[in-house]
Chains A and B, each alone.
Chain A
Amino acid sequence: GAGVSQSPSNKVTEKGKDVELRCDPISGHTALYWYRQRLGQGLEFLIYFQGNSAPDKSGLPSDRFSAERTGESVSTLTIQRTQQEDSAVYLCASSLGLPGIPEAFFGQGTRLTVV
């Protein structure tokens, strides 16, 4: 597709369940980011993939969070044993890797509600 696609758009899950969020980046973009945005708040960095380099996982808040990316394609963010505090919008973005212009293009996000 032409833009970054995220699915599902909305997800309601029960506390303690696992969820998997998907991101399809723009074709040719080697960099991919995941952010968390709580209601009315800024973007909290979670993880950054750049090509075949080891991902920067420094933003993952706990070991319940993990993310994978196969090559330069789809990425999935998995949250295990969800808690109510995990409720937020999860945004994915992709960009050209350096030396290209690192302008990030964002998906519409997945709104996760843990009940």
Chain B
Amino acid sequence: AQTVTQSQPEMSVQEAETVTLSCTYDTSENNYYLFWYKQPPSRQMILVIRQEAYKQQNATENRFSVNFQKAAKSFSLKISDSQLGDTAMYFCAFFSGYALNFGKGTSLLVTP
């Protein structure tokens, strides 16, 4: 079974600063997808960014980017120019053709 580990239960960052959330996973598969989801207090899960394992280039979506290290099985999320609206739970997720497995999440607080 694939496992996803987020080692930072809580993080805090000041507005306009940069923060990196870590995620590692365990799999024997070669082809898979990785995702970061955001869950604000409204509890609606929103996709932030995705990465296909066969792509070497790191995915980027505006202020959000990933550092995908396939050999190390690491998939960190970098949020640049943090905004108050980025305050939320962030979940890393893994998919290889079976169920979509999530990490336990990192609670991010952006302070003024």
Contact residues of A with B, CB < 8 Å? 33, 35, 41-43, 45, 48, 56, 58-59, 89, 91, 93, 95, 98, 101-106, 108-109
**In the complex, are the beta carbons of B98 and A42 less than 8 A apart?**
no
- Count of interface residues, chain B, beta-carbon cutoff 8 Å: 20
For B45, give the chain A residue with the smallest CB separation: A106
**In the complex, are the beta carbons of A45 and B44 less than 8 A apart?**
no
Contacts of B103 in A (CB 8 A): 42
Contacts of B102 in A (CB 8 A): 35, 42-43, 45
Contacts of B95 in A (CB 8 A): 102
- On whether A104 and B43 interact (CB within 8 A), knowing A42-B91, A42-B105, the answer reads no
Contacts of B45 in A (CB 8 A): 91, 93, 104, 106
**In the complex, are the beta carbons of A103 and B97 less than 8 A apart?**
no
For A44, give the chain B residue with the smallest CB separation: B102
Q: Tell me if B104 counts as interface (CB < 8 A to partner A).
A: yes
Q: Tell me if B67 counts as interface (CB < 8 A to partner A).
A: no
Name the interface residues of B40-96: CB closer than 8 Å to any CB of A.
43-47, 50, 91, 93, 95
Of the candidates A35, A42, A56, A101, the one having the most CB atoms from chain B within 10 angstroms of its own CB is A42
Contacts of B104 in A (CB 8 A): 41-42
Q: Can you pick out 29 interface pairs between chain A and chain B where the beta carbons lie within 8 Å of each other?
A: A33-B99, A33-B100, A35-B102, A41-B104, A41-B105, A42-B91, A42-B103, A42-B104, A43-B105, A45-B99, A45-B101, A48-B100, A56-B98, A56-B99, A59-B99, A93-B45, A93-B100, A98-B97, A102-B33, A103-B35, A103-B47, A104-B35, A104-B45, A104-B93, A104-B100, A106-B45, A106-B46, A108-B43, A108-B44
